[in-house]
Structure 1
């Protein structure tokens, strides 16, 4: 896997707390999406890079590995000293890889709704088949290269309470359609564990204080993945955000911040 040559992520700094954290957003969002969450944790300063094709970062070139590019950009955004790392969805997957490959840079790890389908594939393969059926309209739109339909179906699949697509601002719809082309290139990382996070001596050897968070309305395959991650990591605890779905840090930022506070206190 090779990263996109010359890619440098645009990054925003949110908050002014004494404790610095790296915040990694989900697909079709951007670094600034952490603003509401940041207000609930005033002791943190968040460094929040935009993934390629997201926010104010350059587009992904569709040739290099998207996941490798995001990983290298996240690594470059980290301070020399330990940081708290917080990742949501695909950003949570990058956070897990950082914990395995650069543990000296992490003070604590929080992953929110990480889309680690390889765990579900190992622990509950029938649920993964159900997920694939649910994702078929998105897959069909991507095959047809209908990016707006793909973005609309992807947004609905992961944001159950999202307003109707037509009611979203045109700028928001355009940003999502711009970003959605990255999704197919993430599949090997998420479903086949090409980063080797499930290999012996990877997650199972990670002793960083870790919190794994899901919404109470989490997709069944994600719930299994989250349970599997927590079970495999020796210093991990889990938390459930009542009333929330996949987009918990955006829809329920205060509740997510509250469950993270004990982790920060013990890290």
Structure 2
């Protein structure tokens, strides 16, 4: 197992792009979307630590999980572009990492596509499961916590639809969900700081599943109100895992944003 497993979907070398996947997934989640983009971009990706074929997360001193993923993404951007602009695509936690990069370094981003960013600090209600997940985990009921999480944020059928090996892997990843609470619900990295979102001048596309939990629409509302150039789209019949369940619609919306940049 490599420290960080990298992926590359060939395409236009003059149009580099980076895709960052969701928690409890892998970069393979973007395979269907990449296929439907038809080589419009040279798309790169990686498996998050403790996901897919990447090694288990081992935090460096003072670095939380969100910062580790952000550091990996920034390093890959340097490798791909020499610190130049690229198209940035993120799903779920991957979208929050993409947004963090865009806030910190707006000049790195040619276009920004955010698919269901789970920056719960942007919603008045916050993460609807925070307290329940923490309580279950504290009691050692990790499978119940995983079921609760996957039934809300997983694909069709939730936890019960997963193959046994995938269920086991998901249970092992629940501590990472809890570990990212300060970043997602507390915005400890100040993504929402005054002037931050307003400094992103690249075109932004916010994509949501129409059947996703209401908190997703609340997050999108907050972000859209502060972004300079933003489009919003809701995919009918889709939930949180729409890059896998509705790849044609997602790819089409990404293409719209590529055309705007």
Tell me if TM exceeds 0.5. yes
Structure 1 residue 110 corresponds to structure 2 residue 113: yes
Of 197-206 and 140-149, deviating more is 140-149
RMSD: 2.0
1:1-267 equivalences in 2 (<5 Å): 8-18=3-13, 19-42=15-38, 43-61=40-58, 64-78=63-77, 79=80, 80=82, 81-121=84-124, 127-128=125-126, 131-132=127-128, 134=129, 136-159=131-154, 161-162=156-157, 165=160, 167-267=161-261
Of 139-148 and 24-33, deviating more is 139-148
Q: Normalized against structure 2, the TM-score is what? A: 0.89
8 A contact 1:8–1:73 mirrored in 2? no
**By how many angstroms is 1:202 displaced?**
0.5
> Is there any run of 5+ residues in structure 1 with no aligned partner, and where?
1-6, 122-126
Q: Normalized against structure 1, the TM-score is what? A: 0.87
Distance 1:252 1:206, change over 3 A: same
Q: Aligned pair count?
A: 252
> Is there any run of 5+ residues in structure 2 with no aligned partner, and where?
none
Distance 1:51 1:94 in 2: 11
Distance 2:224 2:103 in 1: 14
8 A contact 2:89–2:98 mirrored in 1? yes
**By how many angstroms is 1:182 displaced?**
0.6
| Cα offsets for 1:203-262 (capped at 9, x unmatched) | 122111111111111211111111110111111111111111111111101001111212
| Cα offsets for 1:89-123 (capped at 9, x unmatched) | 110000000101122221110001001111113xx
